[in-house]
Amino acid sequence: MPVLLVECPDQRGLVHAISGVLLRHDCNVVGNQEFVDAASGRFYMRTEFDGPQAVEVDGKVDGVGERIVSETQAALPAGARVRLARPGPKRIVVLASREHHCLGDLLIRHQFGGIQARIEAVLSNHAELGDLVAKFGVPFHHVPAEGMDRAAHEAAVSAILEPIGPEFLVLAKYMRVLSPAFVARYPSRIINIHHSFLPAFIGARPYHQAFQRGVKVIGATAHLVTDDLDAGPILVQQVIPVDHTHAAEDLVRAGRDVEQFVLAQALRLVFEDRVFLAGNRTVIFD
**15 in contact with a copy of itself (CB under 8 A):** yes
Of the two residues 50 and 185, which places its CB atom closer to a copy of itself in the complex? 50
> Residue type for 262, please?
V
Identify whether the C-beta of residue 111 lies closer than 8 Å to the C-beta of residue 155. Answer: no
Of residues 1, 11, 74, 151, which one binds a copy of itself by CB under 8 A? Answer: 11
CB count, 10 Å around CB of 239?
Answer: 15
Among the residue ranges 63-71, 144-152, 153-161, 261-269, the one whose residues contact a copy of itself (CB under 8 A): 261-269
Of the two residues 144 and 199, which places its CB atom closer to a copy of itself in the complex? 199
Q: Is 202 helix (H, G, I), strand (E, B) or coil?
A: coil
Of residues 149, 203, 204, 213, which one binds a copy of itself by CB under 8 A? Answer: 213
Among the residue ranges 10-18, 74-82, 160-168, 183-191, the one whose residues contact a copy of itself (CB under 8 A): 10-18
Q: Report the site for a copy of itself in 84-103 (rule: CB under 8 A).
A: 100-101
CB count, 10 Å around CB of 22?
Answer: 22
Q: Report the site for a copy of itself in 93-152 (rule: CB under 8 A).
A: 100-101, 104-105, 107-109, 111-112, 114, 132, 135-136
| Cα 41 to Cα 272: distance, rounded to the nearest angstrom | 25
Active site residues: 230
**188 in contact with a copy of itself (CB under 8 A):** no
Strands 217-224, 28-37: pairing kind: unpaired
Minimal distance, residue 234 CB to a copy of itself, in Å: 5
Q: Report the site for a copy of itself in 221-250 (rule: CB under 8 A).
A: 233-239, 241, 243-245, 247
Helical (H) or strand (E) element with 252: helix 248-271
Of residues 174, 182, 201, 271, which one binds a copy of itself by CB under 8 A? Answer: 201
DSSP string, 73-123: HHHS-TT-EEEEPPPSPEEEEEEE-S--HHHHHHHHHHHTT-SSEEEEEEE
Minimal distance, residue 34 CB to a copy of itself, in Å: 5
DSSP-derived letter for residue 50 is E
Enumerate residues 6+ apart whose C-beta is below 8 A from 66.
Answer: 59, 60
The interaxial angle of helices 14-24 and 64-75, nearest 10 deg, is: 150
**75 in contact with a copy of itself (CB under 8 A):** no
Identify whether the C-beta of residue 258 lies closer than 8 Å to the C-beta of residue 219. Answer: yes
Of the two residues 42 and 90, which places its CB atom closer to a copy of itself in the complex? 42
**27 in contact with a copy of itself (CB under 8 A):** yes
Does the bond joining 144 to the residue before it have cis omega, within 30 degrees of 0?
no
Minimal distance, residue 163 CB to a copy of itself, in Å: 27
Handedness of CA 173, 175, 180, 186 (dihedral sign): negative
Minimal distance, residue 13 CB to a copy of itself, in Å: 5
**170 in contact with a copy of itself (CB under 8 A):** no
